[in-house]
Structures are given as C-alpha cells and as structure tokens.
Structure 1
C-alpha cells in the first residue's frame, strides 16, 4: 500500500514539475536538423498544372547562420528565448527631468471667439517665472499675485486686469481677463500679450 502511494506521489510530482524544469529535450530544436529537399518531380507526360510555392523558403547565407543568436537553454537541448536586457536605472527619469525645464518659444494665437492668447509649451513653473520676469522688465503695475494659481492682477490705464496661465497637458496659454473673469477687451489684451511676446527672455 505504501509503495503504491509513494509511486503515485512520485508520478504526481513529475507531472506537476513538467519537462521544462528537468530540461528534457522536447524536440523544439529539431528545425536545425532539417534537410533541403529537391522540388517535387512529376512523371513525364502527366497533365499537371505548374505549382508555385505558396510560402517559398528563403535563401540564407551560411555566414548568417554562423552568426545567428543561439535560442536555446543552457544545456542546449530546448528552445529558449534570451532574457531581456535590464535597462540602467533612472536613465529615463534623468532625461525627463532634464527636459522638464525646457520651454518653447511663445506663439500669438486667438481662440474661437477671436480672444488673443499666448501659447507656450513646456514646464508650467518655468513659464510662469519667465512671465513674471517679463512683466518686471516691462515695468507693469502688478497689484496682486495669487498664491494658489498662476495669475497676477495688473493695473493698466486705471483698469484692473488679470493675467492667467492655464494648462492643457504640456501646452499652456496666457490670457487676459477682466476682474469679473470675463475676457478682457481684445485690443488691450493683444497689446499686453504682444509686449510679453516681444520681450520674452528666452
């Protein structure tokens, strides 16, 4: 009884372990031993349509075969794909951090309602620093600055305007608004955005 139980357990372990863990050949490398066969010859005088191979075998140079990668396990008796190369850690993170501070050149645009906008691609913090630096160089009268959002309050010709940076992905728009958050007069907004565009530090 114990012998039967032991034999049953041993067979179960072998079947669960499988052939791959024991590195038993499964004929997956048999393709290397294939031989080239001559084209099929038809008896003379037979009425047979000419046969064109559907998938003709490619001609491979012997030198290419010699330098082909060895797709087999360490024992050389089973087909096995090579392990992928491990990428160097933080290489992509470093590249991303280097690109994160780069910004594009501003572009003067208008939205669907013909309101002027200044479109800038890049890091929002860097764009906002450039915007504040440009306003400073223009001697604009900044009367307030938001701590939570990218916006400043300006006083131009005794009128209060809000310059706000909004983001959509990596693209950012500078727009001019009235104190009630409606779009500012198109001419006034265009004048301010054009001055920022012309004096942009980068």
Structure 2
C-alpha cells in the first residue's frame, strides 16, 4: 500500500514538472499580460448616503502617467509576447584585477605647496603608509638613524646629509615632507629627488 502511494506521488510530481516545462517551452498564454488590454475605469470609493465617515484622502494616490512615458516604458514579456516575463539579470563577471587594485593603496604623487616645496601625497591609513615609507627607504639603502616614538618622523641620512622625514595626515590623506634637522624645509631639488624615488619604489 505504501509502495503504491509513493509511486502515485512520484508520478504526480513528475507530471506536474513535465507540464511546467512544456508550458515554458511552448510559451502558452497564461493571461499574465491581460492587464495591458484593460479599459476598466474604477470609480473612487463612495460612502453610503447618510454615512458619518470623514472624507478619505488616499495615502498613495494613483499617479498620472504621461502617454509618452508609457510608450518608452520597459516591456516585461517573453519573446513571443504572450506571457509576462521579468528580464534575467546580467551576468556579473568578477574583475579580479580591479578587486586587487582596490585592495591596494594608490601610488603616491609628488606635488608642491604654495612655496614650491615638494611634498608626497598618498591616501590610506597612516600606520600602513608609514610602514610603506620605511620599507621604501630600506629598499633604497637609506639609513634610518632614529624614529620618533610619538609621531611619524624619522631622521635619515642621504648622501652624507641628515634630514628629517615627516608624515602628517588629515583624514585618509597623508603628506610626506622632507626637512632639515633645524626644522626648515630641505633643499627643494634634493627633496623632490628623494620623494620621487620613494614614489617610484612604493611597495604597494
């Protein structure tokens, strides 16, 4: 008995699945587009005479649609035009190169301030930017003599000259500037040469 019941249910499921598949393949009109041919005008809701109900203001009144907008409205129907069919979403192809680029920090850019002093501008977290800066100095074989424990500052030696490289941040915008030990701006040509080297050898 149980076997017969199970067999009957299985056949029913298969027949329903077959009908659904056949219907989709043949695109049988299921009346889902009949709304397009509707010409029925529905009058506003009327209250019985003598009713004490307050005047009703619709929360979502039916919009007045421009006929031109209707002509250019998207047509949700199948290829045969006899069934309602939502368009399938476009296939999203993951751009691995773009994703990797977004995960990395952008390359630093060497700019000048109003007094023509060179500065290096880069976006990202200050801690990470400072680590990248130190890594770049190491790759360029520039000696870091000392570092500040409280600020992003490092005393470095370049071609027998001592400089102080400072990183300042406003939000996620970081600026690297080269100073002399007396806190004056370093020679503009030498500062630009060093900042250009850092920019060109940036590890990120």
TM-score relative to the length of structure 1: 0.51
User: Where does residue 137 of structure 1 map in the other structure?
Assistant: 139
Q: How does 1:37-186 map to 2 (within 5 A)?
A: 58-59=64-65, 102-186=104-188
Unmatched 5+ residue regions in structure 2? 1-52, 71-102
**Cα separation, partners in 2 of 1:171 and 1:157, compared to 1, 3 Å:** same
- State the Cα distance separating 1:170 from its structure 2 match: 1.6
Moved over 4 A (4+): 26-30
Q: Quick check: 1:142–1:153 contact (8 Å CA) kept in 2? A: yes
Cα separation, 1, equivalents of 2:133 and 2:166? 10
Equivalent pairs, count: 116
- State the Cα distance separating 1:158 from its structure 2 match: 2.5
Cα separation, 2, equivalents of 1:59 and 1:141? 72
Cα separation, 1, equivalents of 2:191 and 2:55? 72
- State the Cα distance separating 1:103 from its structure 2 match: 2.5
- State the Cα distance separating 1:168 from its structure 2 match: 1.7
Any idea what the Cα deviations from partners look like across 1:23-47, whole Å, max 9, x if unmatched? xxx8485538x9xxxxxxxxxxxxx
Secondary structure of the 1:133 match is: helix
- State the Cα distance separating 1:176 from its structure 2 match: 0.2
